[in-house]
Amino acid sequence: MFHSARLKLTTWYLFIIMSVSLAFSLVIYNLVGYEMARFARSQRIRIEHRLSDEILILSAPDLELILAVKRRFLLTLGVVNLTIFSMSACLSYFLAGRTLQPIQEMLEQQKRFVSDSSHELRTPLTALKTSLEVGLRDKKLKLADARLLINDSLEEVNKLHQLSDQLLKLNRHQHSLQFATIPLDEIVQESIKRITQIAKSHQITIHYRPADYNIFGDQRSLTELFIILLDNAIKYSPKSSTVSLDVHKKDRHLIVSVTDQGVGIDEASLPHIFDRFYRADCSRCKTRVDGYGLGLSIAKTIAAAHHAQISVKSVINHGSVFSVRFQI
């Protein structure tokens, strides 16, 4: 598909270049012909004045000469246009490839995203389908077992709900953003408020010293970004530890960092943790940690929409620091 699109685009580029070149050549050819005729006429008049008898002898080769020069000029223009044609064909093909490359990459990304999403959706759906079918086929199913089955199914449905929510977020944070100047403290306080319950259930204390800075951004998605970082910090930390959120200014940047004392991330996983659906192996985690590997890729999308950079530093079994660097 891309090859034919590239060829079509090349043809269009070539058509435009050759139309301009041919029109230009035609104008030059006519102009040169006209100028030569005018020059010959003025020459003839000048000679007529001096040698009135030789006028007939001179005018004939005069015309022939003009025609010969015009023919040679036409030939030169033809060669020039042919050269332009072959050179622009190569250039157009190259440029068409360059023009289509980002579209091709975007389509590839979308394809990968759709196939990854369907894969992620398929697993809990298959589990749900199988357990419901088995339950339905069991003629001696007791009420207590049926309740258990419904409970398990509800858990799977909740996971699916969470996944579809995250998929929607990924899309929403790329578009429909409303930018305004907002106090950063307001966003951070809101994020902490919304994560407090989870922190309490993990017996984790969140440290934050209010800072008086304004930021230009979309309040909803920035809140979402800090919630993701805080939620991960809590998820991957041992009970009774501390998570701190720090805001400071450096040069022309505002840096928000979330530090935890958790399991840390191994070096091999570090380059991939912002990829969609990537989940590092967490054998060091004390309990099973649920997730789809979408949180950090949503965080990265939000940061990119704010022209901010998100980075991580981590030491195994000591903790991680996620920093978002905003330009101010």
**Which residues are paired to 319 by β-bridges?**
315
CA distances from 35 to 44, 65, 322 (A): 14, 14, 74
**What's the first-to-final CA gap in the chain, in angstroms?**
43
Question: What track of x and - describes contact with ligand ADP for positions 194 through 233 (by CB under 6 A)?
Answer: --------------------------------------xx
Interface of this chain with ligand ADP, residues 121 to 180, rule: CB under 6 A: none
Q: Give yes or no for residue 280 binding ligand ADP (CB under 6 A).
A: yes
Q: Give yes or no for residue 282 binding ligand ADP (CB under 6 A).
A: yes
Question: How many whole angstroms separate alpha carbon 213 and alpha carbon 188?
Answer: 11
Q: Give yes or no for residue 92 binding ligand ADP (CB under 6 A).
A: no
Among the residue ranges 92-100, 119-127, 132-140, 286-294, the one whose residues contact ligand ADP (CB under 6 A): 286-294
Find the shortest distance in angstroms from Cβ 126 to ligand ADP. 20
Find the shortest distance in angstroms from Cβ 237 to ligand ADP. 7
Q: Give yes or no for residue 291 binding ligand ADP (CB under 6 A).
A: yes
Q: Dmax over Cα atoms in the chain, in whole Å?
A: 130
Note whether 199 and 260 are within 8 A (CB).
no
Note whether 179 and 216 are within 8 A (CB).
yes
**Number of residues engaging ligand ADP in binding (CB under 6 A):** 21
Q: Nearer to ligand ADP by C-beta: 113 or 213?
A: 113
Candidates 25, 295, 302, 324; binder of ligand ADP (CB under 6 A) is 295
Instruction: For residue 267, report the phi and psi dihedrals to the nearest 5 degrees.
Output: -60, -35
Type of residue numbered 122: R
Note whether 259 and 303 are within 8 A (CB).
no
Question: By the criterion CB under 6 A, which residues form the site for ligand ADP?
Answer: 232-233, 236, 260, 262-265, 273, 278-280, 282, 291-297, 320
